[in-house]
Amino acid sequence: MKAIEVGLLGIGTVGGGTFRVLQRNEEEIRRRAGRAIRISMVADLDTARAEQVVGGAAKVVGDARAVIANPDIDVVVELIGGTGLAKALVLEAIAAGKHVVTANKALLAIHGTEIFAAARAKGVVVAFEAAVAGGIPIIKALREGLSANRLEWVAGIVNGTTNYILSEMRSKGVDFAAALKDAQALGYAEADPTFDVEGVDAAHKATLVGAIAFGIPVQFASAYVEGIGALQAADIAYAEQLGYRLKLLAITKRRDDLQQQGGATGIELRVHPTLVPAKRLIANVEGAMNAVLVHGDAVGTTMYYGKGAGAEPTASAVIADLVDIARLITADPDHHVPHLAFQPAEMHDTPVLPIEAVITSFYLRLQVEDRTGVLARITRILADNDISIDALLQRPAESDAPGASRTDVIILTHDTVEGRMTRAIAEMQALPTVLAPIVRIRKEELG
């Protein structure tokens, strides 16, 4: 059978890994795909470096559009990144009738609706396994392996850079900046690392996961995004004492609890630092590793663990998509797996809930004046807002002046609607005995 001719746009970390793995495992991959998969053309702005990587095994050009214009290319692999030029190139490749593979979660989380519609109209596939949790076949699992289930929620560590930073800070006491530098050197971080640190990259991935899990359009703009930049070492330590670990979780959850007080119907889509019980497997996912928990009504909770970033782990997913395409290249487009798991005409326009409507439990840390009645006032405010306390811990804090006495009060609550908590925090913050901004961290039991 005729080989599949692949054109690579961008041969940096992931592109280089893809080239290497495809060369190394050429024969194994051919036996699976039923035909050879060959990268015959590569575009990169840095043509000299690209020439070095491919060593004469593929034609190298500086202009990505030359790859798209080549009629011999069956599949275009977009590994440039970003949402400007990458979007134009992907749409042009589709218009030229080529299948597309991309690792670009930002592009699909923002422009997925337009891109998938264009691909459907042309009868081509846009495959993106590498875009979520790198080498972990989570798209495959959600879209195919779990298709019997009514999925209820997905929660994952899907950003290697921030998990690496949190792990290094907790276990080795390394400071934030040094840990970030290491993650960049290891090839995990985005071109703009604020996307990692501020939770944006994880939210891109959560957006794709939510769309696939619930059959809703990609709605990145509605996601709640909070990164790890403001976390304080004191809270990592208190969490530990309370039997919890701090992880940056990407969470998407189906909500149709209108009967409950404060209930809502819609989808939760949120990324934020989260306390998870230290005994859970996911709490022990360290370094740049990723893990995704998926809860389905039939299967229960399943967990997927592995490398979510780095050259070859990500290449593993890119090439798996190429193998899928090789297997279906002669199939009727009606036989393609739908991009977002549900048939396009069966998608629902379920809204993403605002963060005020999200239900979680909370960790609060209040720095208060250590005197009679302070605690009573705080617990009264929580009770008045219908928030129930699960645990309360008091720890002496540093005195900043002679005679002044401060104490850290840590409160764990039961589940509550976020809007109530926001109100309660504002009321507590207004107390003259509360001496510093109240720390609020969401908590998930994931049971």
Ligand X SMILES: NC(=O)c1ccc[n+]([C@@H]2O[C@H](COP(=O)([O-])OP(=O)(O)OC[C@H]3O[C@@H](n4cnc5c(N)ncnc54)[C@H](O)[C@@H]3O)[C@@H](O)[C@H]2O)c1
Contact 434, 428 (CB under 8 A): yes
Total site size for Na ion, rule CB under 5 A: 6
- Which region among 15-23, 89-97, 157-165, 408-416 touches ligand HSE (by CB under 6 A)? 157-165
Listed residue (101, 104, 83, 100) closest to 92, CA to CA:
100
The Cα angle at residue 140 between residues 54 and 71, in degrees rounded to 5: 40
Contact 262, 359 (CB under 8 A): yes
13 appears as a binding residue in the annotation: yes
Q: What does the alpha-carbon distance between residue 93 and residue 71 come to, in Å, rounded to a whole number?
A: 11
Q: Which residue is nearest to ligand X (CB)?
A: 12
Q: What does the alpha-carbon distance between residue 86 and residue 78 come to, in Å, rounded to a whole number?
A: 7
Residue 309 as a binder of ligand X (CB under 6 A): the answer is yes
Angle between helices 13-24 and 47-54 (to 10 degrees): 20
Residue 215 as a binder of ligand HSE (CB under 6 A): the answer is no
190 appears as a binding residue in the annotation: yes
Residue 337 as a binder of ligand X (CB under 6 A): the answer is no
Burial class for 172, CB neighbours closer than 10 Å (0-12, 13-18, 19+): exposed
Residue 101 as a binder of ligand HSE (CB under 6 A): the answer is no
Residue 309 as a binder of ligand HSE (CB under 6 A): the answer is yes
Restricted to residues 46-85, the positions that interact with ligand X (CB under 6 A) are 46, 64, 79-81, 85
User: Which residues are registered as beta bridge partners of 42?
Assistant: 8, 60
- Sole binder of ligand HSE in the list 7, 16, 137, 308 (CB under 6 A): 308
Whose structure tokens read 């409950």? 260
Least separation in angstroms between residue 161's CB and ligand X is 9
Residue 321 as a binder of ligand HSE (CB under 6 A): the answer is no
Cβ distance to ligand X smaller for residue 46 or 92: 46
DSSP per residue over 343-403, as a string? -GGG---PPBPPGGG-EEEEEEEEEEE-STTHHHHHHHHHHHTT--EEEEEEEE----STT
- Sole binder of ligand X in the list 11, 41, 90, 441 (CB under 6 A): 11
Residue 13 as a binder of ligand HSE (CB under 6 A): the answer is no
- Which region among 29-37, 83-91, 158-166, 416-424 touches ligand HSE (by CB under 6 A)? 158-166
- Residues in the annotated binding site for L-homoserine: 190
- Residues in the annotated binding site for NADPH: 105
- Binding stretches for ligand HSE (CB under 6 A): 134, 159-161, 188-190, 196, 201, 308-309
